[in-house]
Amino acid sequence: MTQSVSSDVSSRSLPVIDVGALIAADNAKAMQTVAEQIRDACRVHGFFYVSGHGVDGELIERLDLLSRRFFALDEQKKMRWRMALAGRAWRGYFPLGGELTSGRPDWKEGLYLGTELAEDHPLVLAATPVHGRNLFPDIPGFRDTILQYMNAVTALGHVLMQGIASSLALPPAYFYERYTADPLILFRIFNYPSQDVPGDLDVQWGVGEHTDYGLLTILLQDQIGGLQVKTPGGWVDATPIPGTFICNIGDMLERMTGGWYRSTAHRVVRNTSGTDRLSFPLFFDPNYFAEVHPIDGLPQVPDPDDSASRWDQANVHAFNGKYGDYLLNKVSKVFPQLKQDVL
């Protein structure tokens, strides 16, 4: 990979944490060991691989296969499910170069999805942004597979948040009781095609440097690679490891922990491998209406404001208010046109 810069990968590679004990939930000592591994990973990197997660491998294979079938369709056909058609629900397909990071197009196409809510759900009737029905492409089996996958990984998200609570010496249900009994789940399926960029386009990355907005991102990626994580020692490749997810913490967890855990910047290099790269991030976030507050009693971080070196120059610690407000402010920057049309 051309932009790979890690020279001393062994000391800087990201940890793999087997979370089987958290799922089994029958051995307090083993659960504590996992919580300590999570704490170390969140303190040092903000990124870790998860193995032993229990999500069905056959379901993952089916999701990958059907997603490839979708992206192989003509662009014109894929545009039948374009995001503009979902309005405020913020769902559907966006074409190559259609999403911006820091004002520049990313070299990816994708399908935006989330918790499936019916037209008569109160939040949909109230036209709540990012809530609504999905635009499921008419690939046989795709809808059910996506819904099953979102359910399975959301369940994993609840377990991981229990582990994160324990890692902070909080009761396991800390986040559930305050923020995630009804979490905001956004799910994306991305294709990074191995395709040249036309000379007149200002494209550099698959996805430019950024942090994620919410609590926890649970990412499935295929075998191509390209995700890189910013560490104090430089950019590190998050090399694919079969059978694992990659987890990273988002801005809201940094805010809640007063910077004790950081939302670590990451990016994806442009795919030049000759084969499409697929990735599937699921964002496990606080309820849209939840007010985010710092957690009492954590170790104090002297100066948590790192806005000067952050990709968006934002100070997440200055944010007060509903998670939904924070999210909308961010999302409107990555899809400015859509914001104009539907908000």
Which residues of the shown chain bind ligand AKG in the complex (CB under 6 A)? 188, 190, 207, 212, 219, 221, 227, 266, 268, 279, 281
Minimum distance from residue 265 beta carbon to ligand AKG (Å):
10
Start-to-end C-alpha separation, the chain: 39
Which tokens is 309 given?
A: 């070196």
Which CB sits closer to ligand AKG, 104 or 121?
104
Q: Which does 221 bind (CB under 5 to 8 A by kind): ligand AKG, Fe ion, none?
A: ligand AKG
Which CB sits closer to ligand AKG, 168 or 247?
247
Minimum distance from residue 99 beta carbon to Fe ion (Å):
12
Which tokens is 57 given?
A: 């491998």
Minimum distance from residue 111 beta carbon to Fe ion (Å):
16
Which CB sits closer to ligand AKG, 109 or 212?
212
Stretch that binds Fe ion, among 11-19, 186-194, 204-212, 329-337 (CB under 5 A): 204-212
Q: Nearest-CB residue to Fe ion?
A: 212
Name which of residues 231 to 260 contact Fe ion (CB under 5 A): none
Closest by CA position to 134, among listed 72, 76, 81, 190: 81
SS3 36: helix
Q: Nearest-CB residue to ligand AKG?
A: 279
Q: What would the DSSP string read from start to end of 193-256?
A: ---PPPTTS---EEEEEE--SSSEEEEEE-SS--EEEEETTEEEE----TT-EEEEE-HHHHHH
Q: Which does 190 bind (CB under 5 to 8 A by kind): ligand AKG, Fe ion, none?
A: ligand AKG
Handedness of CA 205, 145, 46, 184 (dihedral sign): positive
Which CB sits closer to Fe ion, 251 or 276?
251
Closest by CA position to 255, among listed 168, 317, 334: 317
Which CB sits closer to ligand AKG, 161 or 218?
218
CB 284 within 8 A of CB 220: no
Which CB sits closer to Fe ion, 212 or 285?
212
Number of residues this chain uses to bind Fe ion (CB under 5 A): 1
Name which of residues 206 to 225 contact Fe ion (CB under 5 A): 212
Q: Where are the alpha helices (H) located in the chain, listed in sequence order?
A: 9-12, 20-24, 28-44, 57-71, 75-78, 122-125, 142-167, 174-175, 251-256, 323-334, 336-342
Q: Does 106 bind Fe ion (CB under 5 A)?
A: no
Minimum distance from residue 190 beta carbon to ligand AKG (Å):
5
Residues that bind Fe ion (CB under 5 A): 212
